[in-house]
Amino acid sequence: MVEKGLKKTNGLGVQVENTKICVVMVGLPARGKSLIAQKVTRYLKWLSIEAKVFNVGTYRRTDTPKPTADFFDTNNPAGEKMRRAAAEAALSDMLKWFRAGEGTIAILDATNSTRVRRRWIYDECTKEGIDTLFVESRCDDERLIMANILEVKTTSPDYQGTDPEAAALDFRNRIRNYEKVYETVDGDGDEKDLTYVKIMNIGAQVIINQIHDYLQSRIVYYLMNLHIKPRSIWLSRHGESMYNLSGQIGGDAELSSRGKQYALKLPELVRQSVGDGRPLTVWTSTLRRAISTGAHLPANYNQLQWKALDELDAGVCDGLTYADIKEKYPEDFAARDEDKYNYRYRGGESYRDVVIRLESIIMELERSEDILIITHQAVLRCIYAYYKEKSQSESPWMAVPLHTLIKLTPKAYGTHEERTAAGIDAVSTWRGKGSVAKHEDPVGEPTF
């Protein structure tokens, strides 16, 4: 049973057919605008909402690849002209993208630091029936700004080949130039008509104005949950189960003897990876194999069970092997291989459905610090796809071996990954397209 026509609804289950929103970033340099733009885009794409970042800096770099701070001085007419041209080129490409009919949300990533610039963007969008959502990131924590400069700006293409100290100093001067003309959104009440959210010091204070649209409010809610404290997310499948041994899918089987060994070894693996004494919260599904896998973890780890982490529901195929499914439901078997992400088991779920129910998990993960999640193959693929930006065609086919701990560490741009195998044998539950591989006979298992 392949679900057709789902393309224009999104992962939140609402129609997005006629929705066009331009998210306009606002803020001085090194205030996390690009990071926010990228995270929002990743989140929306994961939910099947077409989103794209238009970064004005990238356009500016075609003519001025390595500007010094004086390029950004408003008393420098040549610099002003080129910066205006870059903003126009980015906006023009964004409008073309909307006109082509594919896009739902564009993110215009630039400082957009004056009222005049913002009004121009608003007018150009309004003419074309595009709503605007201004997202201003303000930060007056000097230490954080300096840390941002050192973390991401000294390695920017703008400073390729420049000594990091000189780059940091120049970037500081760039910010000074922006500060001379910077006007906060609605600073004196003359932008009251705009839809905006102002985020102060990474969510210490949030001001919201004129948000009525559902998608806009989801974006704002997502932004309110973001933090930048260093943390990691550990992912593990449950230990090998009795169903894994027999090649059956779904069910609520207990662990095999090798699965039990993994559960016994997990505390040590986690301790080595997390470090001694660091508090950890453990989330498991509500299924026996996941709960048993976490059973030997230290008692001071807070453990929570989430129904949303239960394995993809295989409906009428629950308890069957892939070979059984091919024999009993050959059309379904072929349809699943054809479009595994969208295929919904009779009376069960598709990967798309799993992503929808995982949205609350992702939101909670964004708010949280260190978390260990013990879950199942399909669910783990969906969570992994969010962090590592895997496409819908790729994610349902990814190999996620049993008895392996995956550590994901979100960084300014991208997510760092480490894998630790427990060294305890287990069957492979990976199945290649077209095959009915019994769990113990994998066909050409890929790595990520």
Q: What are the b/e assignments for 153-173, b being 16+ CB within 10 Å?
A: bbebebbeebeeeebbebbbe
152 lies in the binding site for ligand ATP (CB under 6 A): yes
Q: What are phi and psi of 41, to 5 degrees?
A: -65, -45
CA-CA distance, 52 to 250, in Å (whole number)? 36
**Helix %, strand %, coil % of the chain (to 5):** 40, 15, 40
Q: Rank residues 352 and 431 by Cβ distance to ligand F6P and give the closer one.
A: 431
- List the one residue from 284, 375, 377, 404 that touches ligand F6P (CB under 6 A): 377
Amino acid occupying residue 154: T
Partner in contact with 250, chosen from ligand ATP, ligand F6P, none, beta carbon below 5 to 8 Å by kind:
ligand F6P
- Number of CB atoms found within 10 A of residue 236's CB: 28
CA-CA distance, 146 to 139, in Å (whole number)? 11
Partner in contact with 378, chosen from ligand F6P, ligand ATP, none, beta carbon below 5 to 8 Å by kind:
ligand F6P
398 is in an annotated binding site: no
CA-CA distance, 124 to 341, in Å (whole number)? 37
Segment contacting ligand F6P (CB under 6 A): 8-16, 47-55, 292-300, 373-381? 373-381
Q: Rank residues 108 and 314 by Cβ distance to ligand F6P and give the closer one.
A: 314
Both tokens assigned to 348? 């069960």
Alpha carbons within 13 A on the beta-carbon side of 59: 20
Which of helix, strand or coil describes residue 351? helix
376 lies in the binding site for ligand F6P (CB under 6 A): yes
Partner in contact with 195, chosen from ligand F6P, ligand ATP, none, beta carbon below 5 to 8 Å by kind:
none
The length of the chain, given as a count of residues: 448
- List the one residue from 202, 235, 354, 437 that touches ligand ATP (CB under 6 A): 202
Supply the DSSP symbol for 238.
P
236 lies in the binding site for ligand ATP (CB under 6 A): no
Partner in contact with 199, chosen from ligand ATP, ligand F6P, none, beta carbon below 5 to 8 Å by kind:
ligand ATP
239 is in an annotated binding site: yes
204 lies in the binding site for ligand ATP (CB under 6 A): no
> Do residues 103 and 215 make contact, with C-beta atoms less than 8 angstroms apart?
no
287 lies in the binding site for ligand F6P (CB under 6 A): no
> Could you give the residue numbers annotated as active site?
238, 311
CB of 377 to ligand F6P, least distance (A): 4
Q: In what order do the strands lie in the sheet containing 205-209?
A: 51-55, 105-109, 21-26, 131-138, 196-200, 205-209
- List the one residue from 10, 22, 26, 34 that touches ligand ATP (CB under 6 A): 34
320 lies in the binding site for ligand F6P (CB under 6 A): no
Both tokens assigned to 103? 């896009």
Partner in contact with 27, chosen from ligand ATP, ligand F6P, none, beta carbon below 5 to 8 Å by kind:
ligand ATP
State which of positions 213-252 bind ligand F6P (CB under 6 A).
Answer: 244, 249-250
Q: Rank residues 171 and 341 by Cβ distance to ligand F6P and give the closer one.
A: 341
Query: Is residue 173 within a helix (H) or strand (E), and if so which, with residue range?
Result: helix 164-181
107 lies in the binding site for ligand ATP (CB under 6 A): no
32 lies in the binding site for ligand ATP (CB under 6 A): yes
> Do residues 213 and 350 make contact, with C-beta atoms less than 8 angstroms apart?
no
* Residue 241 Cα distances to 247, 251, 258, 260, 376, angstroms: 10, 10, 8, 9, 11
Segment contacting ligand ATP (CB under 6 A): 29-37, 114-122, 329-337, 401-409? 29-37
Which of helix, strand or coil describes residue 213? coil
Strands 404-410 and 415-421: antiparallel
258 is in an annotated binding site: no
112 lies in the binding site for ligand ATP (CB under 6 A): no
243 is in an annotated binding site: yes
Q: 356: which residues sit within 8 A by CB, 6+ positions away?
A: 11, 12, 13, 47
Q: 257: which residues sit within 8 A by CB, 6+ positions away?
A: none
148 lies in the binding site for ligand F6P (CB under 6 A): no
396 lies in the binding site for ligand F6P (CB under 6 A): yes
Which residue has the CB atom at the shortest distance from ligand F6P?
Answer: 249
CB of 29 to ligand ATP, least distance (A): 4
CA-CA distance, 345 to 351, in Å (whole number)? 10
247 lies in the binding site for ligand ATP (CB under 6 A): no
237 is in an annotated binding site: yes
436 lies in the binding site for ligand ATP (CB under 6 A): no
374 lies in the binding site for ligand F6P (CB under 6 A): no
Binding residues for substrate: 237-244, 289
Residues that bind ligand ATP (CB under 6 A): 27, 29-36, 57, 111, 137, 139, 144, 148, 151-152, 199, 202, 228, 412
Residues forming the site for ligand F6P (CB under 6 A): 244, 249-250, 311-312, 314, 376-378, 396, 429, 431
